[in-house]
Structure 1
Amino acid sequence: MRLLEVHLPADDRFDTVIRAVKAADPIDYYVQNTERKDRKLISVFIREGTGQSLIDNIQTALETCDDFRITVLPVEATAPNIEEATDQKAQKQIQATREEIYSDVSTGARLDRDFVIMVVLSTIVAAIGLNSDGIAAVIGAMVIAPLLGPVLGFSMGAALGDFKLLKRASVTLASGIGIALLCAWLLSFVLQIDLQSRELMSRAEVRLDGLALAMAAGGAAALSLTRGQASALVGVMVAAALLPPGAALGLFVGTGHWTLAMRAGLLLALNVVALVLAALIVFRLRKIRPRAWIDQKNAQRAVWINAVLSILLLTIATALIIWLDLGSEVSVG
């Protein structure tokens, strides 16, 4: 359940908004006068899955008004209890509103001091864990790695055609990966690299099952976000596809193992593309798109461009994987 609060001018548009509220069949609503006599506050209780259409209708009604504010609040519980609707119209899929999703994604895609510190710390833990074959340390590094936000931000920006969010998420993701590579490269001069470590060497094994892992992680991340149930475990899945290969790449480059570095770099690039593509597909399937028709056209164009580029890169990466596997088989034979 959600609580929508609409603060708007008390003019002719107020009646239009009230009609939109009534048409949405809310659980309850009430109107309050504010300290400013020319303003009113409408509070609307709505069921899960019905908020987006109401928000869109209200924004359409207030298209020419710059002086309004819609606030979306989650409702944990009410008394007395409210029975769930049983009719087919009310049984809509549980989904957070576009505005809620955008707020979460925009915050997670921010490049700030905390993000940089977390990337540095997680990379140090991951690099040491990989080199010492310590799986617990590698998992711990993935728990604190803040890489989920920029991945979802990039996909969300493409789904909405929001180039500002797309650019910010791209800078944050590139910065995060670049910082991880730099930290791992610096650690390679301090650590005695152990090429017998199974955890380290597994990040130089480029296989198609890694693609499946990254696709599943990206899809799960986007799905949990649209349902308003984003969890730390999903962030671990995304970090599993990015942080260990990035740390391994930095270690291999620092020690001059260029073949292993190429494999780790290919795995990292493959995982980035797979994560973004899977999240973008889920956002489109969940109908995360702009409200205005012209914006939807621009968003659709951005989605197709990103999808085509992603599929092209995945095809090239898959061909390289097959080529590397064939080359290793020949050398073994």
Structure 2
Amino acid sequence: MNYLKNLLNLHADEEERSAVIQNVSKNISFKGANLWILACAILIASIGLNVNSTAVIIGAMLISPLMGPIVGAGFSLATYDFSLLKKSAKNLLVATIVSLTVSSLYFYLSPFKDAQSELLARTSPTIYDVMIAFFGGIVGAISMTRKEKGNPIPGVAIATALMPPLCTAGFGIATFNLQYLLGALYLYSINCFFIGIATFLIIKYLKYRPVVTDNKSYDKKLRYAITVMILVMTIPSFYLAYNLLNEKKFTQNVEKFLNSEFYNNGYTVIYKKVNYSTKKKTIELAFLSKQFDSLEIKQFNKRLSNFGIENTQLIIKQNTSDLKAEILSEINKRSTDVSEKDLQINLLNNELKAYKFENNDLKKEVEILFPEIEELSMGKVKTYHTKDSVSTTTLILYKSATTTDKERLSNWLKTKLNDTNLKVVNEQ
């Protein structure tokens, strides 16, 4: 038991607490050299996102001093140091505004405004981002309280990735893309919250002495106020983490459903959009060539519950004329090499299938039953009715050497093809 206790002991090799406090206070400030370093790091990260270079982005994260005020906020909450908390919050706000300004200016002036994969990865947070920020924050807080800082600090700077979301938010401002702006700021906020929470927990665990003044009444009120702030910060954050976990489970179940029902059956999906929200969850799909009737779609919706997908509607888009813009948008997001020409060919093929009618065996049967028929043409036509309604009708044209019982031929074809709306026309 003592061995295990010594093994997990965080007090071993701990830095003098006065030195830790001094170091935290020093790293909070954003002025002079720190501000210049931050601006340059933002520019480097923006260029990295612009050219889709992971190495450049990592370099920018190593340079960035953004961790300072976030760690300072968590530290000040744990020690009830209100003046340090104000200073941390102020400097974090300054750093955020400077970062957004510099990145927005860069992307506004840059001639290259395509959203690359590195940039798109910072527009939608997941449960993994929460976990990385939290455990990265723990490592950062532990390292900060050691005599030998070692290698963890650079690793934490890379893992928690505070710079890229800010640069992506700047891209959203420069290109007037609200979705990118809000998604990136959302991810940045998650990182800040969970790094701060992790720091708070480690400092509390190490039992750093709270800041006290000569005014006991003031100290008591301050502790109540900061306790309320901690609750306001942590409860929504963990609720957010819970929602992100549910969203991840939902997307995994959707993939299992798609694999089982479509991918494994050889159906090619050319468009997929999964919308997860508490009010209305939808799965929108479009296929390269496969068409489903309303009964099949209804059965697919019923089978969603077998995969743990509840309160969700499956929408299969089969009107190809409405799909082109959406599919092109999805293709651009994923940076695939499919050209507009290829997409147009696929859409036209789908439209042609609505008019295509092939039945080689039917011609042979007609020759046996109606030998007088010399030519037989088969196809589908659109019939436009009043009140703007449209229907598709199977049309059979024939030529015969002698008189043919048209009614008998029509009845036989309707029964054979199971199509009561079929029309038979004598071309003579």
Structure 2 length-normalised TM: 0.52
Please state whether the residue corresponding to 2:84 is helix, strand or coil: helix
Q: Which amino acid is 1:261 matched to?
A: L
2:279 is aligned with 1:326: no
* 1:106-128 per-position Cα deviation (integer Å, ceiling 9, x unaligned): 11112221111011000000011
Q: Secondary structure at 2:83's aligned position in 1? A: helix
1:98 matched residue in structure 2: 17
Aligned partner of 1:185 in structure 2 is 104
Aligned letter for 2:121? S
Which AA in structure 1 matches 2:175? Answer: T
State the partner residue of 2:134.
Answer: 215
Structure 1 residue 134 and structure 2 residue 53: aligned? yes
Instruction: Quote the sequence identity (%).
Output: 22
Letter in 2 for 1:278: A
Q: Structure 2 CA distance, aligned partners of 1:272 and 1:146?
A: 13
Q: CA deviation at 1:92?
A: 5.6
Tell me by how many angstroms 1:230 deviates: 3.1
CA distance in 1, matches of 2:133, 2:11: 29
Task: Map 1:161-180 to 2 at 5 A.
Answer: 161-180=80-99
Comparing both chains, which one has the higher relative contact order based on Cα–Cα distances under 8 Å and sequence gaps of 6 or more?
1
Query: How far, CA to CA, are the matches of 1:271 and 1:92 in structure 2?
Result: 27
Match of 2:209 among 285, 289, 292: 289
Partner residue, 1:109: 28
Task: Give the whole-Å Cα distance in 2 for the aligned partners of 1:251 and 1:236.
Answer: 26
Contact 1:101 1:225 (8 Å CA) reproduced: yes
Structure 1 unaligned spans of 5+: 1-86
* Aligned-partner Cα distance in 2 for 1:232–1:179: 28
- Distance in 1 separating the partners of 2:166 and 2:157: 13
CA distance 1:121–1:153, shift in 2 (3 Å):
same
Helix, strand or coil for the counterpart of 2:109? coil
Q: Which residue of 2 aligns with 1:265?
A: 185
Q: Which amino acid aligns with 1:326?
A: Y
Specify whether residues 184 and 266 from structure 1 end up closer, same or farther in structure 2 by C-alpha distance, changes over 3 A only.
same
- Decide whether the 8 Å contact of 1:217 with 1:234 is kept in 2: no
Whether the 8 Å contact between 1:238 and 1:275 is mirrored in structure 2 is no
Cα offsets for 1:122-142 (capped at 9, x unmatched): 000001101211001000000
The residue type equivalent to 2:197 in the other structure is: L
**1:1-333 alignment to 2 at 5 Å?**
93-191=12-110, 192-195=112-115, 197-231=116-150, 233-238=152-157, 240-290=160-210, 301=224, 304-315=227-238, 317-318=240-241, 321=244, 326=276, 330-331=283-284
Task: Report the more deviating stretch, 258-267 or 286-295.
Answer: 286-295
Q: Which range moved further: 110-119 or 226-235?
A: 226-235
Q: How many residues align?
A: 243
Does the 8 Å contact 2:61/2:161 carry over to 1?
no
Q: Greater CA deviation, 125-134 or 106-115?
A: 106-115
Q: CA deviation at 1:147?
A: 1.2
Q: Take 2:11 and 2:130, find their aligned partners in 1: how far apart are those partners?
A: 32
CA change 1:236–1:297 in 2 (3 A) is farther
1:164–1:291 Cα change, 3 Å:
closer
Equivalent AA in structure 1 for residue 33 of structure 2: D
Query: What corresponds to 1:31 in structure 2?
Result: none
1:93, 1:165 → 2: CA distance? 26
Q: CA RMSD in A?
A: 2.8
Is the CA contact (8 Å cut-off) linking 1:143 and 1:232 kept in structure 2?
A: no
Using the alignment, how far apart are the partners of 2:23 and 2:222 within structure 1?
Answer: 19
Kindly indicate whether the alpha-carbon contact (under 8 Å) linking 2:143 and 2:152 is maintained by their aligned counterparts in 1: no
For residues 241-298 of structure 1, the C-alpha deviation after alignment (integer angstroms, 9 at most, x for no partner) is: 3111011111122102211222111111111111111111111011112376969867
Answer whether contact 2:139 2:152 (CA < 8 A) is retained: no
C-alpha distance in 2 between matches for 1:109 and 1:222: 14
Against the structure 1 CA distance between its residues 207 and 140, is the aligned structure 2 distance closer, same or farther, given a 3 Å change threshold? same
SS in 2 for 1:188: helix
Q: Secondary structure at the match of 1:330?
A: strand
CA distance in 1, matches of 2:210, 2:241: 33
Letter of the aligned partner of 1:330 in structure 2?
I
Aligned residue for 2:370? none
With over 3 angstroms needed to count, the CA separation of the structure-2 counterparts of 1:269 and 1:217, relative to structure 1, is same
Larger radius of gyration: 2
Q: Match for 2:143: what amino acid?
A: S
Secondary structure of 2:162 counterpart: helix
* CA deviation profile, 1:8-48 (whole Å, cap 9, x unmatched): xxxxxxxxxxxxxxxxxxxxxxxxxxxxxxxxxxxxxxxxx
Could you tell me which amino acid in structure 2 is paired with residue 251 of structure 1?
F
CA distance in 2, matches of 1:246, 1:287: 33
Answer yes or no: is the 8 Å Cα contact 1:290–1:296 preserved in 2: no
CA-CA distance at 1:303 after TM superposition: 5.4
Q: CA, structure 1 residues 305+289, in 2 after alignment: closer, same or farther (shift >3 Å)?
A: farther
Tell me how far 1:165 sits from its aligned partner.
Answer: 1.0
Tell me the distance in 2 between the aligned counterparts of 1:108 and 1:222.
Answer: 13
TM-score by length of 1: 0.65
Q: Which amino acid aligns with 2:283?
A: V
Q: 1:118 to 1:100 in 2, by over 3 A?
A: same
Moved more, 115-124 or 306-315: 306-315
CA distance in structure 1 between the partners assigned to 2:226 and 2:151 by the alignment: 27
User: Which AA in structure 2 matches 1:258?
Assistant: L
**Are 1:253 and 1:261, in contact at CA under 8 Å, matched by a contact in 2?**
yes
